[in-house]
Amino acid sequence: MKRREFLSQTSLTVGGALLPSGLPTSLASGQQQEEVVPFADTKPFNPEKPLIKWEELTSWQTPSDQLFWVGHYGIPEPTPADWALEIDGLVNKPMHLSLDEIRRLPKREYMATLECSGNGAAGGMVGNMKWAGTPLAGVLKSCGLKTNALEVVFFGVDRGTEKIRNNEYSQQFARSLTVPEATADTVLLAYEMNGEPLTLKHGAPVRLVVPGWYGVAWVKWLSRIEVHDRPFLNRFMGRDYVTIRGEQKGAETIWRETSVGKMNLKSVVARVVKRPDGVVRVSGAAWSDGTPIQRVDLRIDNSPWLPVNIENNHKDRYTWRLWSFDWKKAGPGEHTLTSRAVDANGKIQPSPDDPYIALKKTYWEANQQAIRKITL
């Protein structure tokens, strides 16, 4: 079967109408089918290293098999039966919690968008998932934080050897949050994703969920939590996952290094569908660190920015918003499609030539407008 025929049979819509998901899904039986228009930059799907299939984005919730995973020291061995989460440091009551004990604690479930801090401008290392677990704040309250507690450090079971000042040290993957950040009511000790127990690649038995932050903060394979009285610095806080940006001050460029943390405002053109009546529907997603999305604009080739329709069925604070635009006079040939998000504070997703992007010398936190190419 030819690619065009295959795509036309697997990508259907309901007369271009918006469904509860905010994007078109299927046509009634017997009606002419619509055709998905592929992007020039589409990469083959690898089930061993999954990425979201943008051209199939028709649902607000991402299928579990399309969520990316990252392991800094490889994937650890399956969890031993006697696994327990250790909590100590500057607490009045250290704890060891088994998985069963964690499951018996108050449960909270919500949707949140997870994006890798190394994701490209239109990359597929992102997904909108349902997470379930127990709020970390309640656990830390039960432990009793001491008055000099400053940071909460999260250690994964995965470990490796790091060379520091010409000496080698065994190190676990670890990241930290300040006490106010760690005790936010949205931070979870999560043990379920999309209604199922976490898989090993996604951090089983327990991982941290930190809505509004890049995935590096969502520590997988949790084994220990320590409370410290000073900032925690390791490879993944002070040397790696550090963004280098320049800021022009007159004739001088000032370079700053910041640890990757909260997600940046971002949108992407995700899917293009050609309808039998000639209308081309462009759809996509937009997300942020939790700051509400005010609007999304679309630029077709070199046209002025055009407002799109943002679906209103899902307004969860830490999830992406789906949007669509009906292009009614699309001509044949090659075209470029670019989206930009604007948040409630008036912040605009930067263009590739914005100094905020142009003077960034690391690939972390890539939130520039992505220019996507199609041929009609």
Sheet with 84-89, edge to edge strand ranges: 95-98, 84-89, 222-228, 151-164, 167-178
Domain with CATH 2.60.40.650 in the chain: 3-65+261-375
112-121 average pLDDT score: 97
Cα gap 273→348, rounded to integer Å: 27
Cα gap 124→372, rounded to integer Å: 14
Non-local CB neighbours of 36 within 8 Å, separated by 6+ positions: 7, 8, 10, 11, 55, 271, 272, 273, 274
Domain with CATH 3.90.420.10 in the chain: 72-240
Is this prediction's pTM over 0.85? yes
Statement: residue 86 has pLDDT above 80: yes
320-331 average pLDDT score: 96
* 318-343 residues labelled b (16+ CB within 10 A) or e (exposed): bbbbbbbbebeebeeeebebbbbbbb
361-376 average pLDDT score: 97
Cis bond leading into 24, ω under 30°?
no
pLDDT of residue 27: 29
Statement: residue 64 has pLDDT above 60: yes
DSSP string across 171-219: EEEEEEEEHHHHTSTT-EEEEEETTEEPPGGGTSS-EEE-TTB-GGGS-
Statement: residue 101 has pLDDT above 80: yes
pLDDT of residue 11: 35
Q: Which residue has the tokens 């799109």?
A: 308
Cα gap 189→132, rounded to integer Å: 8
DSSP string across 55-87: GG---SSPPGGG-----SS-PPPPPPTT-EEEE
Name the least confident of 43-47, 122-126, 189-193.
Answer: 43-47
CATH architecture for the domain at 72-240: Alpha-Beta Complex (3.90)
Non-local CB neighbours of 314 within 8 Å, separated by 6+ positions: 22, 60, 111, 321, 322
Instruction: Look up the CATH number of domain 3-65+261-375.
Output: 2.60.40.650
pLDDT tens digits, 142-155: 999 999 999 999 99
Statement: residue 28 has pLDDT above 60: no
92-107 average pLDDT score: 98
Question: Is the Cβ–Cβ distance between 141 and 154 less than 8 Å?
Answer: no
What band does 32 get if pLDDT is binned at 50, 70 and 90? low
- The whole-angstrom distance between residue 294's C-alpha and the CA centroid of its chain comes to 19
Nearest Cα to Cα of residue 90 among 237, 232, 225, 236 = 225
Average pLDDT for the chain:
91
pLDDT tens digits, 239-260: 999 999 999 999 999 999 999 9
pLDDT of residue 263: 98
What band does 227 get if pLDDT is binned at 50, 70 and 90? very high
266-272 average pLDDT score: 98
Tell me what percent of the residues of the chain surpass a pLDDT of 90: 84
pLDDT tens digits, 331-363: 999 999 999 999 999 999 999 999 999 999 999
